[in-house]
A = this chain, B = another copy of it.
């Protein structure tokens, strides 16, 4: 016995807007979302799981186009499991590199902050001198 959810409930659970949920479906990120007798969307718990997976991909900077690619492979069934895993592993590597770059640039900025502090001290000394004059 599956319990189905309305678009609003899914929006609350996933923290996406109802707009975005419809948009994701339209561009092919979500497929075969069920409908009730009036054509209202009914989301299953598998749909939620999939949306949460997408959210994680997004949180690691994957583009919508890349996600659509994976969604299309998924639609083709289990024979694409290997292809999907390869894409995921590539993405994993890319993000690891991104994190390393980010940390490197951040360390350089930390050094800049030190320089700011030095310059501040010099500036303050100059101001103090002015006061004394």
Interface residues of A (CB under 8 A from B): 53, 56-57, 59-61, 78-79, 81-82, 84-85, 88-89, 91-92, 95-96, 98-99, 101-103, 105-106, 108-110, 112-113, 116-117, 119-120, 123
Contacts and interface: CB of A to CB of B under 8 A. Distances in A.
Given A60-B109, A109-B60, A85 B117 contact: yes
**Would you call the interface of chain A mostly helix, strand, loop, or mixed?**
helix
A81 B123 contact: yes
19 contacts: A53-B112, A56-B112, A59-B101, A59-B102, A60-B102, A60-B105, A61-B102, A78-B119, A81-B116, A81-B123, A85-B116, A85-B120, A88-B112, A88-B113, A89-B113, A91-B109, A92-B110, A95-B109, A102-B102
